[in-house]
Amino acid sequence: MTEGESYQTQQSAVIYCRVSSAKQKLAGGGLDSQEHRCRQYALSNNMDVAAVFPDDASGGGDFMKRPGMVALLSFLDAQPDRKYVVIFDDLKRFARDTQFHIMLRQEFARRGAAVECLNFKFEDTPEGRFAETIFAAQGELEREQNRRQTIQKMKARVEKGYYVFQAPVGYRYRRDARHGNMLVRDEPVASILAEALEGYALGRFQTQVEMKRFLESQPAYPKDLPNGEIRNQRIQDLLTRPVYAGMVAAPSWHVSPRKGHHEPLISVETFQRIQERLAGPAKAPIRKDINADFPLRGFVMCTDCGKPLTACWSTSKTGKRHAYYWCKTRGCASHRKSIRRDDLHGAVEEELKALQPTQSFAKLVGVMFRDAWTARLDQAATNVERAKAQAQTIERQIAKLLDRIVDAGSDSVIAAYEKRIADLEQEKLVLDERASRRGKPVHAYEEMFELAVRFLSNPWDIWAKGDLNWRRTVLRLAFARPITYSRKTGVRTPDLALPFKALRGFEMPKNGMARWGGFEPPTP
């Protein structure tokens, strides 16, 4: 036999290797060992290996979810005139699902490719096909049993208060001698996310878009898109995940929320406040064109129609740019009547400067806050005992509902009981959290009220030195309603927020001595 004849009789082959996960690929060396065995088989059977197609994903039994298998089929499609032998190490590497095993065999047969396995002999006989089906079914059984066992173990850990899924943003897993794999804070992302969640709960961020832009402005926070933005759906996920409140849950496994062993980023009360805000009426997002040039856009109203003013830059004939606010409401008497930005900003800034109390009164405000803080601390111990008593009452209610579920015969009644139990367990989590504080504040007085006292003492200073977000925050905290502006008379008397109303009432008392005979003129 000549060298040319030997080459013509040599079969062309491709090798398919697969492991179930990337971890097995990196740690176990499974792909390398499979490829080595398959190459030895090809060499001993006079086969020329044209390509190797590895996979490190199971695909859940579906071979079309495996990139390596898809590439292999595409390779065969690209060379329809050549017949290949597909070599793989074990039948379980082929397909661990009976239906997909048969479908994959049909795909190879349609392309004229033969299959050969190192640990199984394919025979085109009734007995051979029967044995092949049995082995494929056995592989499917093992896969389903492994999946069931994994889910049972994961469910048991969730029931015991451990998070078992992929670590959410702000957390990472760390091995603990007592608890095993456990979530721990991933700084600085954890602190950034905690500030964002608390800001949304307290109204610092009025909309999800504001929270999204805050996170996007943080260089250390991971972004979803190449342009540095975060998907809108990701913000919704962050706001609705109980894991950030120190809870774990698995609704698909019928595991209701419960206290977890990991450190929370926010309190359960804060999480509930967020859910209440999400369930409330939607608010219009801040427009992107509300920028540092026009911080009052959308907050100042037209005096003629009551609609918010818009703003823009205008270029004169000389090429000079001018900034204006104007009313865009059709039919309004001030429609498209320009207001110089400096005039409007100056008027609003004068209102902010007027809110500054005297230095002595600012000190008095600090003393009042300190006294109120001390009084709240005195009440904290009583609140802890009350929370413990309420938690015990709820626990008894849950026990009664569980007894009723056992006696109930209707699915609808059982579902109603289960929903009520879930609500009570959520309420009990809040009470347990309050009781666990033991009357101690979460933050120190200086941390809680330093910025508040500074703001009440001089909101103008924060406005003058702050960026766009701080300026918008100053407007929301200083004024109860948007400001109304007239082109002719200027700013209408603004409706101040409650703290400034109270301060102005304290600082400017209208007292005086009553005249003899009262205020009415004396009668003859």
Percent of the chain with pLDDT over 90: 11
Contact residues for 380 (Cβ-Cβ < 8 A; gap 6+): 437, 439, 440, 441
Domain 7-146 homologous superfamily, CATH: Resolvase, N-terminal catalytic domain (3.40.50.1390)
Q: How confident is the model at residue 189 (pLDDT cuts 50, 70, 90)?
A: very high
Of 444 and 276, more confident: 276
Q: Tell me what the mean pLDDT of segment 181-186 comes to.
A: 92
Q: What is the pLDDT of residues 250-298, one digit of tens each?
A: 888 888 888 889 999 998 888 988 988 888 765 545 555 556 788 888 8
Q: What is the pLDDT of residues 374-384, one digit of tens each?
A: 666 666 667 67
Q: How confident is the model at residue 6 (pLDDT cuts 50, 70, 90)?
A: very low
pLDDT on residue 172: 93
Q: What is the pLDDT of residues 119-153, one digit of tens each?
A: 888 777 787 778 777 777 777 787 788 888 888 99
**Topology (CATH) of 171-279:** Hect, E3 ligase catalytic domain fold (3.90.1750)
**Distance from C-alpha of 236 to C-alpha of 224, rounded to nearest angstrom:** 14
Note the pTM of the prediction, 2 decimals.
Answer: 0.55
Q: How confident is the model at residue 173 (pLDDT cuts 50, 70, 90)?
A: very high
Containing H/E element for 53?
A: strand 47-55
Domain boundaries, the chain: 7-146, 171-279, 301-356+458-507, 359-453
Query: Do 206 and 476 meet the contact criterion of CB atoms below 8 Å apart?
Result: yes
Q: Tell me what the mean pLDDT of segment 440-462 comes to.
A: 64
pLDDT on residue 313: 87
**262: phi then psi, degrees, rounded to nearest 5:** -85, 160
pLDDT on residue 478: 80
The rounded Cα 372 to chain-centroid distance in angstroms is 35
Contact residues for 474 (Cβ-Cβ < 8 A; gap 6+): 352, 455, 459, 462, 463, 466
Across the chain, what does the average pLDDT equal? Answer: 79
